[in-house]
Amino acid sequence: MAKTINLTIKIGNLTFKNPVTVASGTFGSKDEYAKYVDYAKLGAIVTKTVTRKPRKGNPMPRIFETPSGMLNAIGLQNKGIDDFIEYKIPYFKKVKTHLIVNIAGESVEDFVYLAKKLDPEKSVSALELNISCPNVKKGLEFCAKPELAYEVVKAVKEATKHPIFTKLSPEAHDFLGVADSTIRAGSDGLSLINTIRGMAVDIEKCKPQIANVFGGLSGPAIRPIALRYLHEVKRRFDIPVMAMGGIMTAQDALEFLITGAHLISVGTANFVNPKATMEILEGIETYMKRKGHQSIDSVRGTLKVKPDSESLLAPAG
């Protein structure tokens, strides 16, 4: 008789049925993917960013396909927290999986307000603090310096009973310092990594392809970078990580799990293949059966690296 494979992941008081989640902003606002994906089979659903007031987002064009990825400058378009609670929460209450709500603000007070508004919602399992969006004027502010990151995480932690994942940008000048400050402030986990700013040019019109000039680069092009940041964080800090950045297949997901991620978020892949999450989940199970693993815990963090071979901060050459 075949032994059951245990895919459950435990982070604090939360138990996820498996490590497969979706990246904020890539899975619609509510039920857009329901005909392709059994939401209840996901380890968690991470919502599109919710802000205090409705946002129209950035001007068009704001999406452009690039080699092995895409640029986006949506600008956190959403209908605001009141609409989310009234029209989105009732739907997610019926879905039997964890709901992680991604929130963003232009001030510490905004983040605290959002956290308090969501605190009574029993269907919300955790918050993801988006302090690193590269596509809005005040998006990177809280991720720019360790002391600012500490301030916002500390304030939210004191305002909510929900666990907190803090989403960080690889563009932070002192990335590890920011990570350390969020952990000291009480973040229960980190989300790594947000997109990286890039641009593209229309050579006929001699204009940027994105109206906002810059857009966040996502997709397979940034996967090696995301893996590097995950490894740097895991070798320095004992903190659960929800990893993202170009995860398209089960092999990609396993690279992040082996490097130490607790959860993996599928983002750009959803636009290319709406069933990507289900295929990745199936592929992880197939790999575990082939390798004789009975628990996902026996896969996570098994990366073999000789200490003297690491020169992560040295320039390539």
Contacts of 316 (CB under 8 A, 6+ apart): none
DSSP single-letter state for residue 260: T
Q: Contact 226/244 with Cβ under 8 angstroms?
A: yes
| Helices and strands counted in the chain (H then E) | 10, 16
Q: What is the spatial distance between Cα 199 and Cα 285, in angstroms, rounded to a whole number?
A: 38
Q: What is the spatial distance between Cα 12 and Cα 15, in angstroms, rounded to a whole number?
A: 8
CB atoms within 10 A of CB 6: 14
Contacts of 308 (CB under 8 A, 6+ apart): none
Question: Which segments of the chain does DSSP mark as H helices, in order?
Answer: 81-83, 89-92, 108-118, 141-144, 146-159, 175-184, 223-234, 250-259, 269-272, 276-291
Question: Among all residues, which ones are annotated catalytic?
Answer: 133
Q: Contact 49/24 with Cβ under 8 angstroms?
A: yes
Q: What is the spatial distance between Cα 186 and Cα 184, in angstroms, rounded to a whole number?
A: 5
CB-count exposure of residue 306 (10 Å: 0-12, 13-18, 19+) = exposed
